[in-house]
Chains A and B, each alone.
Chain A
Amino acid sequence: MALHGLASALPRPIGFGQSTSLDKEQLLAAEDELKVLGTWRSPFALRVRLALNFKGLGYEYLEEDLDNRSDLLLQSNPVTKKLPVLIHNGVLICESLVILEYIDEKFAAIGPSLLPADIYERAMARFWATYIDSKLVAQWLKMFRANTDKEKAEATRETIEAVEKLEGLLSGSAEGQSKKPFFGGDDAGYIDVVLAGMIAWMQGTKELCGVELLDAARTPLLLDWMERFAELDAAKLIMPDVGNLVQFAKVKRAKMMNQN
């Protein structure tokens, strides 16, 4: 899938994590050109930016206007035409979870690892990442876009169930382990980054869908985790504003309904 001859200007990385000092590790990253194509509200693009920030990798972030897609995007991802796309020295990687594993493996020598070293724990991390996408994200979208009460009720039930399972994961009750500050343990890792893409969307659910996904009684650990995660250096500057997200989603949904 490599797109040869992709013209690109000299990189002027503006992403968080771009260092100015010149120690060996960062020199490695400075020779690499990393670009991320995404939108500010995409949970999937956010994952990629978080991962790069965690690793301390500099990159150029390019905000895409989906109503007016850039040539770069159209050339980059002919297969799924979706965002995000990571472009590393002209080489293209698509699909957020694929990109995350690529970043972790390609830049294994730089910064912390996203995935656990232990093989079994790594399988667990992949399992929960798939779960987040196939259960939480997919059902959330169904709930948000539901046309009938019945559809909405079912999707809501499934979404809440997924949220509760993730709360259970933090409490350690699912695995028989003790409570931990992050899904990755003492430090944030793969699952944290994968779920973090949905934080603002989950926080906006009450206003968007009239559904209380998060509350102090049922999901205290997730609420703590969200606060803790948002304060991390890697996350601070790039988490989208919930109000803006909600506003965007309302406008988008109204547009879609007017089209039907």
Chain B
Amino acid sequence: MDHQQEEKVQLFGMWASPYVYKVKWALSIKGMEYEYVEEDLGNKSGQLLEHNPVHKKVPVLVYNGRPVAESDVIVQFIDDVWKGQGGRILPEDPHERAMARFWARFVPDKLSPPIWKWFTTAGGEEQEAAREAAVEHLRVLEAELNLGRNEFFGGDSVGLVDLSLGALAYVIPMYEEIIGARLITEEMFPSLYAWMGRFLAAPPVKDHLPPMEELKLRFRAIREYFLKNA
């Protein structure tokens, strides 16, 4: 019997959430079809609250009626469930898996906070400090993750670390345009810069990106909000 016919996959998400896209890309890597449910986060559905009572957030993946929450957990779940299917999200070797998991945590723990701070702070000392912190961590990434001949951190296809960094590939250029300053230039970060272009064009990603103009409007509004309420 066709494996796929036995499975029901739902993804609860929100059009602007980078974590939701991480899951979409993971499902795309596996070639999995699913039902997508758009949530209004100002008016969360009963289903979402039932599936994620602890955090009440998106994304939530529901696999044959059983919910999985937290994007990093969902992505590894996807890799486990559809192990023999589509691309590998995590490598086979335990040490390489550990490295992938370590660098996947680096993004939300170290890199994203100063980038967000930079974006939501008015120009001045505080913003500059956030930018420097972000640059320091980007330097670490650029140096430690030696891409070498590889197209992606996952090798010749998108893997866990690529997925974790992924949203930054479209978010950072947007922030740069809105603020009017650069964070990642080709001169400063040749590997990362090249990777960003390749990631956005990669097969599991290119047809699963948020609507950019709408996202930009949303980010502009967010920055204005933070500047006003500082």
Contacts and interface: CB of A to CB of B under 8 A. Distances in A.
Indicate the size class of the contact surface on chain B: 20 to 34
A105 B97 contact: yes
B144 A79 contact: yes
Contact of B98 (A99, A120, A131, A165): A99
A102 B101 CA distance: 10
B149 interface: no
B102 A127 contact: no
Given A79-B140, A98-B101, A101-B101, A126 B94 contact: no
Interface stretch (A89-97, A212-220, A230-238): A89-97
Given A1-B99, A120-B66, A102 B94 contact: yes
Contact of A130 (B73, B99, B106): B73
Contacts of A105: 94, 97
Interface string B117-152: 000000000000000000000001000100000000
Nearest to B137: A79
A148 to B, nearest CB: 20
Contacts of B101: 95, 97-98, 101
A74 B106 CA distance: 19
Indicate the size class of the contact surface on chain A: 20 to 34
A95 B105 contact: yes
A91 B77 contact: no
Contacts of B74: 123
A130 B97 contact: no
Contacts of B99: 1
B221 interface: no
A1 to B, nearest CB: 6
Contacts of A97: 101
A91 B97 CA distance: 13
A1 B143 CA distance: 11
Interface in A166-182: 174
B228 interface: no
18 contacts: A1-B144, A93-B98, A95-B105, A97-B101, A98-B101, A98-B105, A99-B98, A101-B98, A102-B97, A102-B98, A105-B97, A119-B77, A119-B81, A122-B80, A123-B73, A126-B73, A127-B69, A130-B73
Interface of B: 53-54, 63, 66, 68-70, 72-74, 76-77, 80-81, 94-95, 97-99, 101-102, 105-106, 110, 140, 144
Interface of A: 1, 79-80, 88, 91, 93-95, 97-99, 101-102, 105-106, 119-120, 122-124, 126-127, 130-131, 165, 174
